Structure formats: structure tokens, C-alpha cells
Structure 1
Amino acid sequence: MKEHAFFLSLGFTVDQTQLIKEARHYIAVFERIEEQISDYNEMTDPGVIRQLNIQVYQAAASIWAYKRKVLGLILRCEIVSNNMPLLVDHTSREAAYFAKRLKELNEGKLKPLPEAIIKENVFFLKIMADHSKFIGHLLDPSERKLVDQAREFSNDFDQLLFQAQDLDHMRPQSETVPLLDQFLDQNRVSVVSLRDFKKTARDLIEACKIKSSIPTLLADHVYREADHFLHIIDAFDEHLTAIKK
């Protein structure tokens, strides 16, 4: 969330001082939370963690509202900025996801495993598809091979997303473990490829070996999200393996 606020602040024009000020406010908010969390460990009282979740939930809900306000201003053509509407919408979806997960944790709510697997994959497949589109747009047009690769990833993840949405509508039950196994395996292969592409792009950007308007931090940000998605896929795979045993 802190990095989202930073990226948005970079995209505003110099005269959009109020929006920049608000973005910087959220950078400071999440920096303070980071510092606070650094003092916690596995021995921290659960009541303290519950209060932390409430605090972070409120911050995530607040930055979500800010992002939706910015998106509205852009869509109504009330401002012109370098923040693409899909990018602002993308970051707002991540804020909504974060806030929802914190609320569910505090309330002790857990979705049935098949539903959780499908819903998480639908969310993150859309995130990965968006990333591919952003990379393709932010690379210099002269980087033709990399732009083509980004477009191929965009098409791949669009198709995986459509398949996941179809599966969500079918609502498979726990007895369809083989179907979910195949679903996770197929997604893992594509996410590994995209993660590796992002890592290569990040390293090339950092070494100033490709032409783009992508900050190194943004390249690293999307790489970390792909890596996180892989950890989620692996965790679900472990749960399915335990069920089969």
C-alpha cells in the first residue's frame, strides 16, 4: 500500500498538489505501521494483533477510498495525469482485497477450500494480467521483443482468468480435488514464467540495459506480487494433498 501511494504520487502533474499531498500522507501512514509491526513477533498478545488488524484495515479502507476518488477524477476528465485508469483501479482492487482479508482474519471467517482456491486465483490472475499490460505500455516502443513478450503474457493470463471465472461459476465441491489440482498446476506454470520475466526485466532496468519509464521499485513490486501468488498456489496445493491423504 505504501508503494502504491508512492507510484500514484509520481503520476500526478506538478499542479495537482492536493492529490500529491494526500498520496504522501498515505506513504507516511503505512511507514508508521511498518515500524510498529517491526516490534511484534510470534509472542505478541493476540489481542494486540487484533487491534493491529483493525488499525491496518482502517488504513487500507481509507487508501481504497482515495484511489477510487482519483479514478473518478480521471474517468470524468477532471484531471489529466500519468496514472492510467486501469492502474488506479488495479491498486484499489488490491486495497479492497487487503482490507477484506484483514476483516475476515479478525472475524475468524474461512471460506471452504474449493471456493477459497478459485476466488484467490481469480483475483491474482487478474492482477497478473494487469501487470503484463502495464509492462507492455511502460516499456519504450523500441523494445519490441520485450513488448511482444509482455503482450503474450497478457493474452495468456486473460485466458487463464476466463477459465478461472468459468470454474467459479461451476462452483466445484470438495470431491473435485483432481480438477482443482489441474487448475493450480496450470496456473503455476504460467506464473513461474511471468515471475521469471519480471525478474529479468527488473534486473535489466536496474542495470539500465533496457529503455522504459518503469521505476526499479515498480519492477520489483510486480515481481514480488508474482512470487507471492506462487506461495499462495503452493499453500493451496499442500492443503489439497492433505485432503487426498
Structure 2
Amino acid sequence: MKEHAFFLSLGFTADQTELIQEAQNFITVFERIEEQISSYNENTDPEVIRQLNIQVYQSTSYIWAYKRKVLGLILSCKIISNNIPLLVDHTSREAYYFAKRLKELNEGILIPLPEAIIKENVFFLKIMADHSKFIGHLLDPSERKLVDQAREFSHDFDQLLFQAQDLDHMRPQSETTPLLDQFLDQNRVSVVALRDFKKTARDLIEACRIKSNIPALLADHVYREADHFLHIIDAFDAHLTAQKS
């Protein structure tokens, strides 16, 4: 959330001082929360963690509202900025997802495994498809090979997303382990390929070896999100394996 606020602040024009200041305020809020969390460990009182979740939920809800406000201003042509609408919408979806997960954690809500696997993959496949589009858009057009690769990833993840949505519509008939195993395996292959592409792009950007408008932090940000998605896939796979034994 802190990095989202930073990325948005970079996209505003110099005269949009109020929106820039709001973004800077969110950076400060989430930096303070990071500092607070750094003092916690596995022995921290669960009630302290519950209160932390409430605090982060509230801050995340506020930044979600800010992102939706910015999106509305862009779509209604009330402001012109370098924040493309899909990017603002993308970050707002991530804020909504984060806030929802925090609320579920505090309420002890456990989604049935098959539904959780499909829903989580639908969310992250859309995130990966968006990332591919952003990379292709922000690379210099002269980086033709990298632009083509980004477009191929965009198409691949769009297809995986449609496939996941089809599987979601087929439930409960689809709640069989073989189908879910195949679903996770197929997604893992594509996410690993995209994660590695992002890592290469990040390293090249940091070394100033490709031409783009992609900040090094943004390149690292999307790489970490792909890596996180792989951890989620592996965790679901482990749960399925445990159910079989």
C-alpha cells in the first residue's frame, strides 16, 4: 500500500498538489505501521495482532477510497495524469483484497478449500495479466522484443483468467482434486515464467540496460507480487496433498 501511494504520486502533474499531498500522507501512515509491526514477533499477544489488523484495515479502506476517487477524476476527465486508469483500478482492487483478508482473519472466516483455490487464483491471474500490460505499456517502443514478450504474457494470463472463471462457474461439480491439481500446475508454470521475466526486467532496469518509464521500485514490486502468488499456489498444493493422505 505504501508503494502504491508512491507510484501514484509520481504520476500526478505538478499542479495536482492536493492529490500528491494525500499520497504522501498515505506513505507516512503505512511507514509508521511498518515500524510498529517490526517490534512484533511470534510471542506477541493475539489481541495486539487483532487490534493491528483493525488499524491496518482502516488505513487500507481509506487508501482504497482515495484510489477510487482518483480513478473517478481520471475517467470523468477532471484531471489528466500519467496514472493510467487500469493501473489505478488495479491498485484499488489490491487494497480491497487486502482489507477483505484482514477482516476475514479477525472474524476467523475460513473459505472452503476448492472455492478458496479458485477465487484466489482468479484474483491473482488478473493481477498478473495487468502487470504484463503495464510492462508492455511502460517499456520504450524501441524495446521491441521485450514489448512482444510482455504482450505474450498478457495474452497467456488473460486466457488463464478466463479458464479460471469457467472453472469457478462449474462449481460444485468441479470440486475434485484432479481438476484442482491440474489447475494449480498449469498456473504455476505460467507464473514461474512471468516471475523470471519480471526479475530479468528488474535487473536490467536497475543496471540501466533497457529503455523504459518503469521505476526500479515498481519493477521490484511486480516481481514480488508474482513470487507471492507462487507461494500461494504452493500452499494450496500442500493443502490438497494433505487432504489426500
TM range (shorter): over 0.9
2:162 is equivalent to residue 162 of structure 1? yes
Note closer, same or farther for the CA distance 1:107–1:143 as it changes in structure 2 (3 Å cut): same
* 2:176 match: secondary structure: helix
2:110 is equivalent to residue 110 of structure 1? yes
- Kept in 2, the 8 Å contact 1:130–1:154? The answer is yes
One-letter amino acid of the structure 2 residue matched with residue 151 of structure 1: R
1:80 aligns to what? 80
2:202 aligns to what? 202
2:189 is equivalent to residue 181 of structure 1? no
- Kept in 1, the 8 Å contact 2:202–2:216? The answer is yes
1:17 aligns to what? 17
Q: CA RMSD in A?
A: 0.8
One-letter amino acid of the structure 1 residue matched with residue 60 of structure 2: A
Aligned partners of 1:175, 1:224: CA distance in 2, in Å? 30
1:1-245 matches, cutoff 5 A: 1-172=1-172, 176-245=176-245
* 1:109 match: secondary structure: coil
Q: Deviations over 1:96-137 (max 9, x none)?
A: 000000000000001000000000000000000000000000
One-letter amino acid of the structure 2 residue matched with residue 78 of structure 1: K
One-letter amino acid of the structure 2 residue matched with residue 188 of structure 1: R
Q: 1:171 offset after TM fit, Å? A: 1.3
Q: 1:174 offset after TM fit, Å? A: 8.0
Aligned partners of 1:169, 1:64: CA distance in 2, in Å? 28
- Kept in 2, the 8 Å contact 1:113–1:174? The answer is no
Which aligned runs of 4 or more in structure 1 are off by greater than 3 angstroms?
172-175
- Kept in 1, the 8 Å contact 2:114–2:175? The answer is no
Aligned partners of 2:80, 2:168: CA distance in 1, in Å? 37
- Kept in 2, the 8 Å contact 1:114–1:180? The answer is yes
Aligned partners of 2:16, 2:171: CA distance in 1, in Å? 46
Q: 1:234 offset after TM fit, Å? A: 0.1
Aligned partners of 2:241, 2:14: CA distance in 1, in Å? 54
Q: Which is worse superposed, 173-182 or 148-157?
A: 173-182
Aligned partners of 1:96, 1:16: CA distance in 2, in Å? 25
- Kept in 1, the 8 Å contact 2:129–2:154? The answer is yes
Q: 1:172 offset after TM fit, Å? A: 3.5
Q: Is there any run of 5+ residues in structure 2 with no aligned partner, and where?
A: none
One-letter amino acid of the structure 1 residue matched with residue 151 of structure 2: R
Aligned partners of 2:156, 2:175: CA distance in 1, in Å? 28
Aligned residues: 245
Aligned partners of 2:175, 2:241: CA distance in 1, in Å? 13
> Percent same amino acid at aligned positions?
88
- Kept in 1, the 8 Å contact 2:167–2:174? The answer is no
Aligned partners of 1:91, 1:182: CA distance in 2, in Å? 29
Note closer, same or farther for the CA distance 1:241–1:173 as it changes in structure 2 (3 Å cut): farther
- Kept in 1, the 8 Å contact 2:6–2:23? The answer is yes
One-letter amino acid of the structure 1 residue matched with residue 40 of structure 2: Y
Aligned partners of 1:155, 1:70: CA distance in 2, in Å? 28
One-letter amino acid of the structure 2 residue matched with residue 224 of structure 1: R
Q: 1:173 offset after TM fit, Å? A: 5.8
Aligned partners of 1:75, 1:82: CA distance in 2, in Å? 13
